[in-house]
Amino acid sequence: MVGLVIILSLGIRPAQHLWQAHKGDAVSVPLQNTGIANDVSQLNPTPMRTVGLGTDSAANLRQLRELLVLARATCTTVSIAGAQHSMGGHTLSPDGIRLDMRAFNYMRFDTVSNLLTVGSGATWAEIIPYLNHRGRAVGTMQSDNAFSVGGSLSVNCHGWQPNQPPIAATVVSVRVLLADGRLLTCSRTKNQQLFGLVLGGYGLFGVILDAKLRTVPNELYSYHRVAGAAENYIQEYRRHVDANPQVHLAYGRLNVTNSRFLEEATLNYFTTERLAKADYPMVEPGLLDLKRAVFLGSKHNTYGKQLRWDLEQGLSKVEEGSEFSRNQIMNESPSLYMNRSPGQTDILHEYFIPARHYNAFRLALQQRIPRHKADLLNVTLRNVYADTDTFLPYARREAFGFVLFFNQGTAPADEADMTALTQELIEEAEKLGGTYYLPYRLHATPTQLRRAYPQFDEFLRLKLDYDPQELFQNKFYQRYRIGIGHSIGNAKKQPVRTAQSSAD
């Protein structure tokens, strides 16, 4: 009702536009055939057998060990799936077994150390209310709540937490089940090498059963926004975020309208006001249909993009000067904007660029993107500090992440065009000393991957130390293990070792 009133108050043209966007929205994503698994991109239909785990962790461990023995005996590959929001088949392997970890979602909170022990299948949407009850909040996570802990650790995610390394820095330890059935606790002092390989390891070294995560206080933040020329974004960031230790969340947004394409930016940041008491109320975000219509109406539509840019400040999740709890802000669902229509899909890219090359990369995006078919719907900017925990870091020094959200068709020509665009943007990022993020489409060439991640061949060699039969596989591994000139692929025929009991 409120949404309707707002729409009507906007005038006839915007109201008609938003109504059409709303009417054109599909109700749900099309169902796949049974026996066919996919990920959020809907571009990876893969014949697989899915095994779901129960909630009893002891029984699950037994079941997992039996399954690994069976997989080894039958030379069947195993892929591990959380919420499946990776986009390149990172949870899929043809004719393999897919472990659905989502029921593995137990939680325990230690009130002395403030550490959360959490099953790897738990999503942030489950964790945030649990911590909220205790006056605590997640330290580092993505900007939405749909992802699992296992998936988040395995890509080493990051979000709106400024001037911090990615999530690995908040992990005290993980328990990992290896291909041979051993259960190891890994931390910075115990099984240290495996700790760095599993975090950001894309499910290739073993199954993360659970993790001990540092938490932070749930606090009340007040919201601030600075709008200006995109070229000044880094100066504004240094002035408002770096210079103020009270800032605890921050992100930027670039204008994607045709008339001012990547020319304007907003810096959005949140400063701490005071602690939020336990069980601080979290309200359901309102006006969802209206916000979704504003977003959908911007797809492939010049007028809709301008309308969205003009409106979204007022309709965004927070109002200038308002107070919100950290948990409230971080508990947003991506359902607000996820595509449901067949024949198209939304695809993310992310590039991590040194601050001094921010403008050069922005100008490269301005030139390259309009030459392609994909429709750029959103750009957010994040800051991330160097990651010294993982073996395969995307942030080897401080970087600004450009998160690009595209809509594209699913036809082969659309895929080919997106492949060309992705390769061009990776090239631009690499020229500027930047890297790109690995959980998205597998369009990078194997050479590009190795330029961005020079440790990748060593990463593959170490995988064989921990998983000599290459039991844990996914499409990411299958695409990029090629061309490294050693015996990967011949390793499969080794004798099957039996599961051992816990040996950390």
Ligand X SMILES: Cc1cc2nc3c(=O)[nH]c(=O)nc-3n(C[C@H](O)[C@H](O)[C@H](O)COP(=O)(O)OP(=O)(O)OC[C@H]3O[C@@H](n4cnc5c(N)ncnc54)[C@H](O)[C@@H]3O)c2cc1C
Shortest Å, Cβ 199 to ligand X = 10
Query: Which residue, 122 or 131, has its beta carbon nearer to ligand X?
Result: 122
If DSSP states are collapsed to H, E and C, what string results for 31-73? CCCCCEECCCCCCCCEECEEEECCCCHHHHHHHHHHHHHHHHH
Q: Which is nearer to ligand X, 17 or 102 (CB)?
A: 102
Provide DSSP, 438-471.
SSS-S-S-HHHHHHH-TTHHHHHHHHHHH-TT--
Nearer to ligand X, 7 or 418 (CB): 418
Rounded Cα–Cα distance for residues 176 and 173 (Å): 10
CB of 426 to ligand X, least distance (A): 17
Closest approach, Cβ 68 to ligand X, in A, equals 13
Interior/surface letters 413-440, b for 16+ CB within 10 angstroms, e for the rest: ebbebbeebbebbbbbbbebebbbbbbb
d(CA 78, CA 203): 9
The residue among 7 and 499 lying less far from ligand X, judged by its C-beta, is: 499
CB of 453 to ligand X, least distance (A): 15
Residue that has been written with the tokens 């240094």 in this structure: 238
Element holding 132 (H helix, E strand)? helix 124-132
Residue 153 vs 241, nearer CB to ligand X: 153
Asked if residues 376 and 313 have their Cβ atoms less than 8 Å apart, the reply is no
CB closest to ligand X, residue no = 151
**Is the CB of 96 or the CB of 135 nearer to ligand X?**
96
Give me the sign of the Cα torsion angle 163, 167, 173, 179.
negative
> Least CB distance from residue 281 to ligand X, whole Å?
25
The residues of the shown chain that bind ligand X, judged by CB under 6 A, are 40, 79-86, 90-91, 101, 120, 142-144, 147-148, 150-152, 154-155, 157-159, 202-203, 207-208, 334, 348, 439, 474
The smaller minimum CB distance to ligand X, of residues 95 and 310, is found at 95
Nearest distance in Å: CB 496, ligand X: 21
Rounded to whole angstroms, the Cα distance separating 422 from 412 reads 15
* Residues shown for the chain: 504
> Least distance (Å) from ligand X to the CB of residue 94?
15
